[in-house]
Structure 1
Amino acid sequence: MMAGKPLMKSSTKNVTCVKVKPGYSNSNKEIEIRYIDTKVIGSGSFGMVYMAKLYDTNENVAIKKVYQDKRFKNRELQIMRRLEHPNIIRLMYYYYAVDNTNEEYLYLVLEFFPKTVHQLIKAYAQTGHVLDLFNIKLYMFQLFRGLSFMSSLNICHRDIKPHNLLVNPEKGTLRICDFGSAKVMNNDDTNVSYICSRYYRAPELIFGAVYYTTKIDVWSAGTVMAELFLGKPLFPGDSAVHQLVEIIKVSIIGTPSKEEIYAMNQNYKDFKLPTVKSVPLEKLFKGRSLHSAVNLLNSLFRYNPSARSSAIEALAHPFFDELRNPELEEMPNGRLMPRLFDWLEREVNIRPDLNKKIFPRSKYVPNCEEIIGLKEDT
């Protein structure tokens, strides 16, 4: 049951009125919003997701209803309130309510996006096609940018997969969503290793590591990138062992050495790993000339998390150079390019040494030349 008292606007529209708090404000002051046309668009172990329309602005929103189980920590709201970023789904409002069984639920009112990356890949696959190279670059750049921002706050998503990435194909924009598994990482804290959906799970998780970093999100992002090229998961394991076999089968990865296993999990003692014939990643791409993409994937698919590229390093990779073209103003569909380079100050300061590789010398970086070191010497 949706919270709030329904008001009758007309004989055909039920208007739900609720008191909410703004997503990113430090103020605890409640405001009132009204919404209509509520319908279920998703469900899971967490609860339900509804689509609705704000009555006063006519704006579509998604409302995520999350059961507040007192046995478990729910970090989702606290983490989302710290993540105001162009590539992370916007938390507009939130409120708590009790249903008719006296159970408490958290409601997150989020901006609405029309598709998930999973739906996008599936739609292309049904026509025998995969996403074009330009749009893969466009979406992956935004994914790495969102992950880089999160990593700068030591926040790990822990469930990056196509289902949790929202896109607006018309506008070419991407948002990371669903922070139900996210956690602020502290060096001394242990973490559960059984996290993240299997196809996208970093190998250190398969090896049972309880000390890991935001680099698990980078591995997951690499699997998403490969899936955009292939139209299907790169590592489709049906168990933990099979998942590891699927990873080993790709020649740029192969069988991990004892040193790499130690780097993933110092307590792992069973070194009996399967021996399987490996396949070059280039062959999986069916003849497409993707040397730069394979090079980037090679930097992401490293067993040793310390040797794995970070999200900010991925953004500096030549694979994305096309997006840095100062003359690039429109997408292939004729719409204006998303503003990829209007960065927050925190982002600009993550790795100043990489800024010249990441940013174009163009109008897409307003008023930032001195900060990011792009101003021409005089």
Structure 2
Amino acid sequence: LQGQADVRSPSSAFVLSSTGDSGKVTTVVATPGQGPDRPQEVSYTDIKVIGNGSFGVVYQARLIDSQEMVAIKKVLQDKRFKNRELQIMRKLDHCNIVRLRYFFYSSGEKKDEVYLNLVLDFVPETVYRVARHFNKAKTTIPIIYVKVYMYQLFRSLAYIHSQGVCHRDIKPQNLLVDPETAILKLCDFGSAKQLVRGEPNVSYICSRYYRAPELIFGATDYTSNIDIWSAGCVLAELLLGQPIFPGDSGVDQLVEIIKVLGTPTREQIREMNPNYTEFKFPQIKAHPWTKVFKPRTPPEAIALCSRLLEYTPVTRLSPLEACAHAFFDELRQPNTRLPSGRELPLLFNFSPVELSIQPQLNSTLIPPHARAQTSPASHGMYQNKKMILFFYIKIFTLYKI
């Protein structure tokens, strides 16, 4: 599961006081999510359960000091291992990824039971619930929201993939959104893993409907391109109003995929999992993408979907190539607004890390009117490149090279 280590850090393992009442104050010794391990007292109140699952429970609470709302994800800890989610979240820092503010340990009811508590940004909604709201109203989500949400998802994927991290559970339920600002934050890194070339990974990962075909084929040497397939499924679902590849089993899902993409060629199967090349599949022609979607679906949206939902993992667009796609051109226009009239969230505040991923895309990713959104360090990169260019021009003219 995860690397060997003792989970109990004495400095962060104590709940100092708790009243057990949702209106009372709980004080814990917690370690900041980022930066040096300097434990500090953190007090919170107004605790209520907002979610649960096989992983544990999620609470909503209010920090006493700042009065900000937070989510506290409480998971039972295996003492033999470091928690992979904690290790990954501590190294991530991006505006489209839910931030780990603090973490602390608490005791369970049984002897030796230890819980890890992750104190995270609280974001009120999910893309899943937003889409369901429009479905109930017998309409599809406005295309501007599809663009804003998907763009931010691709930004978050570009960042985590640049850090060697694969999320492995991209789905609408794990995309948190603030309905007012339209800011999206990727959450739930419980399945995430630092992928290392040559090291095998489990293939039964990722939620049904969003599983890449190489996972259905049982591949264990997959790449972060499985997240791109999942993102393509999310985009298709927002356009259709329902999952594009439903199915209760891997076989069912594969049938649904083949109905749209057609039967994979032997070469495509080899790219997904070489062990399956001798399998015989019924020969089915690909269904035209234009017929998969409703007549009024923007052609650019269909074109983007077709570049994400490819059998061959390496031919899928990279996250930043997706951001640079024509489907998102409207977001790069200076006067584009949300339906409420509100300005778009910050979409072009790229960090030096992001700008170094695929530099050839930077001129497309940052429209002229948004250059001020990039960080000062990023501006420095541009200035340095300009300076070097002027230097070469000067040398050229002086020595008439």
Query: Does residue 191 of structure 2 align to residue 181 of structure 1?
Result: yes
User: What is aligned with 1:302?
Assistant: 310
Structure 1 residues 16 and 235, CA gap change in structure 2 (3 angstroms): same
User: What is aligned with 1:62?
Assistant: 71
**1:359 paired residue among 350, 360, 366:** 366
Mean Cα displacement is larger for which, 283-292 or 258-267?
Answer: 283-292
Note if contact 2:29-2:104 (Cα within 8 Å) is conserved in structure 1: yes
User: What is aligned with 1:75?
Assistant: 84
User: What is aligned with 1:164?
Assistant: 174
Instruction: Give the TM-score normalised by structure 2.
Output: 0.87
Q: How does 1:278-317 map to 2 (within 5 A)?
A: 278-317=286-325
Deviations 1:201-253 (A, max 9, x none): 00100111000110000000000011111111110011111100101111xx2
Whichever residue aligns with residue 283 of structure 1, its letter is K
Q: How does 1:190-339 map to 2 (within 5 A)?
A: 190-250=200-260, 253-276=261-284, 278-328=286-336, 330-339=337-346
Q: Which has the larger radius of gyration?
A: 2
Report the identity percentage: 51
Note if contact 2:262-2:287 (Cα within 8 Å) is conserved in structure 1: no
Mean Cα displacement is larger for which, 338-347 or 73-82?
Answer: 73-82
Structure 1 residues 40 and 7, CA gap change in structure 2 (3 angstroms): closer
Structure 1 residues 72 and 269, CA gap change in structure 2 (3 angstroms): farther
SS in 2 for 1:288: coil
Structure 2 gap segments, 5+ residues each: 1-13, 391-401
Whichever residue aligns with residue 23 of structure 1, its letter is G
Equivalent pairs counted in the alignment come to 371
User: What is aligned with 2:18?
Assistant: 6
Cα deviation for residue 154 of structure 1 reads 1.0
Instruction: Give the TM-score normalised by structure 1.
Output: 0.93
Note if contact 2:96-2:156 (Cα within 8 Å) is conserved in structure 1: yes
CA distance in 1, matches of 2:310, 2:166: 18
SS in 2 for 1:144: helix
SS in 2 for 1:113: coil
Greater share of helix: 2
Cα deviation for residue 12 of structure 1 reads 8.5
Whichever residue aligns with residue 233 of structure 2, its letter is T
Note if contact 1:352-1:372 (Cα within 8 Å) is conserved in structure 2: no
Note if contact 1:92-1:111 (Cα within 8 Å) is conserved in structure 2: yes
Instruction: Output the aligned Cα RMSD.
Output: 2.3
Structure 1 gap segments, 5+ residues each: none
Cα deviation for residue 284 of structure 1 reads 3.2
Note if contact 1:39-1:52 (Cα within 8 Å) is conserved in structure 2: yes
Cα deviation for residue 356 of structure 1 reads 1.2
Q: How does 1:85-96 map to 2 (within 5 A)?
A: 85-96=94-105
Cα deviation for residue 324 of structure 1 reads 0.9
CA distance in 1, matches of 2:22, 2:234: 43
